[in-house]
Amino acid sequence: MNEIPRLRYPRIVLGLMVAAGIAGAALADGGKSEQGVPLSPKYRQECAACHVPFPPGMLPAASWRHVMADLPRHYGTDASLDPASTKELSTWIAANAGTYKRVSEEPTQDRITHSVWFVRKHNEVAAGTWSLPAVKGPSNCAACHPQADQGNFNEHSVRIPR
Amino acid sequence: MNHPTVIRYLHAALVAGAVLSSVAQASTPAQLLADYSARAGSAPSPARGRALFTAPQGREWSCSTCHGAVPTQAGKHASTGKAIGALAPGFNAERFSDAAITEKWFRRNCNDVMGRECSAAEKADVLSWLLTLKP
């Protein structure tokens, strides 16, 4: 895996990826993929305390820049973080942004759940389902994707609460 | 050594000390409580801590909304529903074991609940109450 990524990523990014235990396979095939990249331990620690770790591949880089620039006002909550951690996370996120195969436009409010692909993929979910107490809203991926925590959103493992 | 040099040395030592203390942060709940109380300059009050924790502070959420009224078991994030491990250190050994982590959450959560940061006295009050909760 060493040869191909070395051509594509600046050394510091490569170092971060190796440190994070990322095998290049998920990205080495030309960028866009079905399966998300393995999450860095830092991302898991800082970005999965309040919700599932949203895959960096599921938003374009520009949207992630907005998110990371405004953590003290994060979707109605204070998610402020020290500058060094913010920088480390931003670098890792930027290196993995937009890799999910369906990502194209910048969704409104920088929400994955406002993406055109997200709305289309979920148009069979009944309106009432989103407001069930066990679901709480479209951002709660784990309510229907039991392995969301592992970055697995495969349609075959979906379970909708009733 | 002339005066300005001494001052420069002192300054360097102080800065190094500050940096060290913000890196090496392994701590215990008792140490954190002692530290907050010293900064507050007064003895902590578990009763005040309990009141701050359980009563709404003028905004939508209280501390209890996410952590439970008696935070000896898992709570639930008010907007995402994600489970939150017990906050009382007697029921969760990871709590209050790293000053930077504790400070990060006090800053965020006090801001969400009260629209400002908590004072050292308020943090001492809350922690002293949490320490009265025993298995």
- CATH number for the domain spanning B29: value is 1.10.760.10
- The domain containing residue B122 runs over which residues? 3-130
A81 touches chain B (CB under 8 A): yes
pLDDT at B123 over 70: yes
Token representation of residue A27: 């990205």
Q: Given this model, what pLDDT does residue B11 score?
A: 45
Query: B9-36, pLDDT tens digit by residue?
Result: 444 444 444 444 444 478 999 999 999 9
Mean pLDDT of A23-51: 74
Token representation of residue B93: 């050994």
Exposed / middle / buried, residue B66 (Cβ in 10 Å: 0-12, 13-18, 19+): buried
What is residue B82's DSSP assignment?
-
Query: A112-131, pLDDT tens digit by residue?
Result: 999 999 999 999 999 999 99
Q: How far apart are the C-alpha atoms of A16 and A85, rounded to whole Å?
A: 13
B47 inside domain: yes
Confidence check on the interface: ipTM exceeds 0.95, yes or no: no
Radius of gyration in angstroms for the set of CA atoms belonging to chain A, rounded to a whole number: 16
Write down the H helix ranges in A9-115.
Answer: 11-19, 25-28, 41-47, 61-69, 83-96
Q: How far apart are the C-alpha atoms of A125 and A143, rounded to whole Å?
A: 13
B135 inside domain: no
Work out the mean pLDDT of chain A and round it to a whole number.
84
Chain A, 87 to 116: residues with Cβ < 8 Å from chain B are: none
Domain ranges for chain A: 8-34, 38-111, 122-162
Closest Cβ opposite residue B108 in set A80, A136, A143: A80
Query: Chain B residues with CB inside 8 Å of A89's CB?
Result: none
B31 inside domain: yes
Q: Tell me if B82 and A50 make a contact (CB, 8 A cut-off).
A: yes
B32 inside domain: yes
Measured CA distances, B78 to A85, A97, A137, B67 (Å): 25, 28, 12, 9
pLDDT at B3 over 80: no
B130, B88 contact by CB (below 8 A): yes
CB A112: neighbour CB atoms within 10 A? Answer: 18
Tell me the shortest Cα–Cα distance from A51 to chain B, in angstroms.
6
Query: Chain B residues with CB inside 8 Å of A142's CB?
Result: 82
Q: How far apart are the C-alpha atoms of A76 and A95, rounded to whole Å?
A: 27
Residues of chain B that touch chain A, judged by Cβ-Cβ distance less than 8 Å: 77, 79-82, 104, 107-109, 111-112
Q: What total of structural domains would you count in chain B? A: 1
B66 inside domain: yes
Distance of alpha carbon B20 from its chain centroid, rounded? 19
